[in-house]
Structure 1
């Protein structure tokens, strides 16, 4: 690592410790884990923002290279923005921000402020890209527009999700409503998009609405391919020697419930089995990046198994409330 960068991290860690213990001397043993945590935070943040940047430029290409010049629409908040752009004189960049703002506010309440801030940055960046970047118009063939416009838009949405944010806020609304109603997140998204396409058929034309459905389907499949489905929970099994530290991070910092299995390692240093605790938790896809960051801070060599969870019932799926929350 660059010596100057290391010195900056050490100074930041020292200042954090000085705030916590004003009258006690600070040892190197205290600074080292803080510096390591900062290194992991920065590395993960860089990776996540690279995903977001790629996602924004991909979505911008789908919008300006295919959909926007040909008066096509899509589903979700992007579809609402495109529909309004076709019926008003307001520029698409402004509409993308205005339409997504209520969803981002909802995200700050249901998912977290960090996620909401990253999403605001991603949406604002997309608005800038759509307004200022001149993408070439690729084709005027309606089928190609629907298919490839949906592909690049879905790729952009998926990459942004991989970076821990959204550039289309309807997924957040769907997650919120699914918790309140007896519906799956997929059902809520379907209802929202049926309404958007119905309005599109009335205002524009039935043909445009039908192509919009095709665009939406392609975009949805692309998102599934990139992130394995935002509407699904992920079951995470963690096997680590530092299982107690990981358990405390899950329950105290991430406020997630977990289950501890009493397991046995099959091949120890002497070739014999040995006892070890195994952690299992269930989180949303949008929280996965944060969980991986926290695990890396504690044990980079932790063995992690992740699998999509199709159905959930009972238990503590939502975040545990803080003690000072009422």
Structure 2
């Protein structure tokens, strides 16, 4: 790392420790973990920001290079915005912010404020890109518009999710309603998009609505490819010698329930097996970026296995509430 940046991180860590310990002297052993934590946080933040930037410009290209010039629509909040753009005098950039705003407010309550802030930044960036950046109109062939417009829009949505945010807020609504109504996220998204496509068929034309379905399918498959599925939950297995610290981070910091398996390693330094705890937890894929950041702060060499969970029933799935301290 750059020496100037390293010195800056050390200074920040020392200031944080002084605030916590007031007049107690700060030892190097206390500074090192905080410096490492800041380094991991900064590295992950830059990576996530890069994903969001790529996602915003890709989605902008799908909208202005394909869908918008040809009066096509898509599913989700973007489809609602495109639909209103076709029947009102408002610009698409303004509509993207207005339509997504209620979903972001919902996200701040159901997922977290940090996620909501990143999402509103990403949506605002997309609105600015759509308004100010000039993309060439690639084709007038309706089939190519539907397929490749959906592809670039799906790529943008997927990359933004990899960055820990969304540029289409209907998924947040789907997560919320899925929990309330005991439906899968796919079922809720399907119902939302049926309403959008029906409105498109009535306001524009049946042909436009049919092409919109094709656009949505192309976008959904691309998102599926980029973020390994449109399912709501991801099962995460963590194997590390620092399992106690990881368990504490999950239960206290992220307020997530986890299961501990008693395990034995099959390969050790002396060739003998050794005891270790194996942690298993389930998170939403929107929380995955945050979880990976926190794991790296504790143990960068932790062995992590992630698998898509298509459906869940029972158990502690929601984030555990904070207990009042008296």
Tell me the TM-score normalized by structure 1: 0.98
In 2, Cα distance between equivalents of 1:9 and 1:269: 34
Q: Deviations over 1:159-208 (max 9, x none)?
A: 00000000000000000000000311111100100000111111100100
Partner of 2:159: 159
Report which stretch shifted further, 301-310 or 73-82.
Answer: 301-310
Partner of 1:92: 92
In 1, Cα distance between equivalents of 2:182 and 2:22: 52
Q: Displacement of 1:137 after TM fit?
A: 0.3
Q: What SS does the aligned partner of 2:236 have?
A: strand
- 1:230, 1:286 within 8 Å by CA — same for their partners in 2? no
Q: Displacement of 1:229 after TM fit?
A: 2.4
Q: Displacement of 1:25 after TM fit?
A: 1.1
Q: How many residues align?
A: 325
Task: Indicate whether 1:216 and 2:219 are aligned.
Answer: no
Q: Displacement of 1:230 after TM fit?
A: 3.7
Partner of 1:125: 125
Q: Displacement of 1:7 after TM fit?
A: 1.3
Partner of 1:27: 27
Q: What SS does the aligned partner of 1:151 have?
A: helix
Partner of 2:115: 115
In 2, Cα distance between equivalents of 1:104 and 1:55: 18
Q: What SS does the aligned partner of 2:119 have?
A: helix
- 2:231, 2:309 within 8 Å by CA — same for their partners in 1? no
- 1:110, 1:176 within 8 Å by CA — same for their partners in 2? yes
In 2, Cα distance between equivalents of 1:251 and 1:55: 32
- Which ranges of structure 1 fall in alignment gaps of 5 or more residues? none
Partner of 2:250: 250
Partner of 1:269: 269
- 2:178, 2:184 within 8 Å by CA — same for their partners in 1? yes
- 1:171, 1:230 within 8 Å by CA — same for their partners in 2? no
Q: Displacement of 1:30 after TM fit?
A: 0.8
- 1:258, 1:280 within 8 Å by CA — same for their partners in 2? yes
Report which stretch shifted further, 307-316 or 192-201.
Answer: 307-316
Partner of 2:290: 290
- 2:186, 2:230 within 8 Å by CA — same for their partners in 1? no
Task: Indicate whether 1:191 and 2:194 are aligned.
Answer: no
Partner of 2:179: 179
Q: Displacement of 1:324 after TM fit?
A: 2.6
In 2, Cα distance between equivalents of 1:78 and 1:28: 51
In 1, Cα distance between equivalents of 2:35 and 2:183: 45
Q: Displacement of 1:228 after TM fit?
A: 1.6
- 1:175, 1:231 within 8 Å by CA — same for their partners in 2? no
CA RMSD of aligned residues (A): 0.9
In 1, Cα distance between equivalents of 2:267 and 2:25: 43
Q: Displacement of 1:323 after TM fit?
A: 0.8
Structure 1's consecutive aligned runs of 4 or more residues displaced over 4 angstroms after TM superposition are none
In 1, Cα distance between equivalents of 2:275 and 2:32: 30
In 2, Cα distance between equivalents of 1:262 and 1:136: 58
In 2, Cα distance between equivalents of 1:37 and 1:80: 41
Q: What SS does the aligned partner of 2:279 have?
A: strand
In 2, Cα distance between equivalents of 1:98 and 1:241: 47
